[in-house]
Structure 1
Amino acid sequence: MRNLQHEDTGSYWCVEEIVGIFQVDETEQLHLTVQSGSYCTVTTVGDLSVLEGQSVTVPCHYNPQYISHVKYWCYGRMKDFCSSLARTDDPTSAPNVKGKVTIADDPTQHVFTVSMQNLTEGDSGWYWCGVELGGMWVADSTASLYFSVIQGVSVVNSMVSADEGRSVTVQCLYSKNLRSSERRWCCSGNWNSCMVTDSEGTFSSRNVFIHDDKNSMFTVTLTQLEMRDSGWYWCGAGQQHGAVHVSVTPQATTRATVSPVQYLKTTGRTPSHLLVVCGVVLLVMTVSLALWKLRKHYSKKSRKNDNFTMCPWREGDYKNTSVIFLNAPAQQVQML
């Protein structure tokens, strides 16, 4: 199945197939022999690679007619000789793995799930989803898968995206043997760009923050994303690393258009910027008028002063003029 969507959630099962075998006898007559059989009555996921120290949950799907049957999970290369690790009718049947392996049945979805915790390299091998059919001469319905428990680094989601200006978080997983190693976040192909955690398992800069849980995962948070931040990066621990692609999408911008009629209708008063412009124009006109009046006033005063003559003398004005000398003896005063 490809291009799955949320609506595809649910249970699926294989249906019975009818196989027709064509045979031709000596009389050249065609005979069809019909054989009815049930195929893939139990199904599960494909082979898995899991980091050491991590957990895994496996779904085992079965046909509706097996709702009331016992389901089990066992370990071993051969189905007939595998070691039972968990059963739906007796959860304590394997005390040596108690707490590490759990099994749960969901009859409404026709699936039982098996969870395994804290995996080690020794847990690698073949596992079986089984439905017990309850008969000596009837084989159980089973499906197998192979676990590879490995050392290294992986990412929860290798493709992440966010809008420009937003933030995004990347979860990086590492195996148990790398717990004492430093954590790194690097631009792919450029080791000089690596950002390394300190002894507390953290790193902080303007737009990158790294936090390590000191157990199996560290998170990298990128903030204030820009278009140039798009590209491939590495989660690193020790000499191991996992690749992740960050995609930054342009921020959507919308511009509202308002018609003049709508603007006048919804606006109750004159916009403030128009009031400011009007005030400035009025101030300039007032100052100009005042300067013009002052200039006119001083111009008139200057013309009046130009027609004024100090002490005009005319012929004959000096006749019959008396001159009095102060502090002089009275006998010395003569009429001129």
Structure 2
Amino acid sequence: MHHVNTCITKVSQHYSVLPFVTQTNVFISVFLCIFFTKAAVAGSDVTLSGQVGRSVRIKCSHQFAVTNAKYFCRDPCTDQHILIKSGQPPTGKYKLKDLGKGVFTVTIADLQKSDTGTYWCGVERYMKDTYRKVLLTVTDGNEPLLNSTSHMKSESPVCGCSVGTRLRLFPGS
């Protein structure tokens, strides 16, 4: 509810300085604000584990963004935190492959304990980018993996990151 109240406050402050704004414009803006805020906080985070020295593959889904740029960043996901972006060659540690059809994958190679943390799969949008939250824990190798797929013959656990969407409505939100 805090996110909704913050959103409504921002919309009200913005429109209060514009004399030509109608009640309909304010209503539509508040409705969209509530809709996107609810979508942003709905769902649960995706959690996965990998082992030191191995790699992890993260599958990020999105909608209506076949031609949009995709990227992978570390929290808090500002421009300087972007680790890899579609169209860029792999960096050695990070590889992003846009499969089209609503999915892109990110591979993090040679995992280290320092890679443990919060990441975001991002999609550039006209107004505000959309995000998928990824929580990664790197273990020494003698601890069980979370969300690994035992039936796969790959050393890279796969994470479907279509759960939990983050929409930045305002800077710093």
TM-score, structure 1 as length reference: 0.30
Which residue identity lines up with residue 71 of structure 2 in the other structure?
Answer: Y
Residue 120 of structure 2 is matched in structure 1 by 128
Q: Distance in 1 between matches of 2:149 and 2:129?
A: 37
Larger strand fraction of residues: 1
1:145 aligns to what? 134
Code of the residue aligned with 1:79 in structure 2: it is: C
Deviations 1:75-117 (A, max 9, x none): 23x133551111112236xxxxx22211111222x11000111
Counterpart amino acid of 1:62?
A: H
What is the alpha-carbon distance in structure 2 between the residues aligned to residue 157 and residue 103 of structure 1? 21
| Number of the residue aligned with 1:60 | 60
1:118 to 95, 99, 110: 110
Counterpart CA distance in 1 for 2:58 and 2:88 is 19
Task: Give the structure, 1 or 2, with the largest relative contact order (CA under 8 Å, sep 6 or more).
Answer: 2
Is contact 2:51-2:111 (8 Å) kept? Answer: yes
Give the distance between the partners of 2:105 and 2:77, measured in 1 at CA. 19
The alignment's C-alpha RMSD in Å is: 3.1
| Matching residue's letter, 2:51 | L
Unaligned runs of 5+ in 2: 1-26, 156-173
Residue aligning to 1:104: 97
C-alpha displacement at 1:157, in angstroms? 6.9
Structure 1 residue 66: Cα displacement? 1.1
CA distance in structure 2 between the partners assigned to 1:44 and 1:105 by the alignment: 24
Aligned length: 116
Asked if the contact 2:45/2:135 (under 8 Å) is kept, the reply is no
1:122 alignment partner, SS class: helix
Quick one: distance in 2 between partners of 1:84 and 1:145?
14
Q: What is the CA-CA distance between 1:61 and the residue it aligns to?
A: 0.6
- In structure 2, relative to structure 1, the CA distance for the partners of 1:125 and 1:157 (3 Å cut) is closer
Partner of 2:171: none
Aligned partners of 1:58, 1:129: CA distance in 2, in Å? 9
2:74 is aligned with what amino acid? Y
Q: Structure 1 residues 139, 80: closer, same or farther in 2, change over 3 A? A: farther
> Post-superposition shift, 1:44?
9.5
CA 1:89–1:128 in structure 2 vs 1: closer, same or farther (change >3 Å)? same
Retained in 2: the 8 A contact 1:69–1:132?
yes
Q: Which amino acid aligns with 1:118?
A: D
- What SS class does the counterpart of residue 79 from structure 1 fall into? coil
Contact 1:75-1:84 within 8 A present in 2 as well: yes
Give 3-state SS (helix, strand or coil) of 2:78's partner: helix
Q: Is the 8 A contact 1:44 1:60 kept in 2?
A: no
Q: How does 1:22-171 map to 2 (within 5 A)?
A: 35-36=31-32, 37=35, 39=39, 46-63=46-63, 65-76=64-75, 78-80=76-78, 83-91=81-89, 98-108=91-101, 110-134=102-126, 138-153=127-142, 154=144
What is the percentage of aligned positions where both structures have the same residue? 27
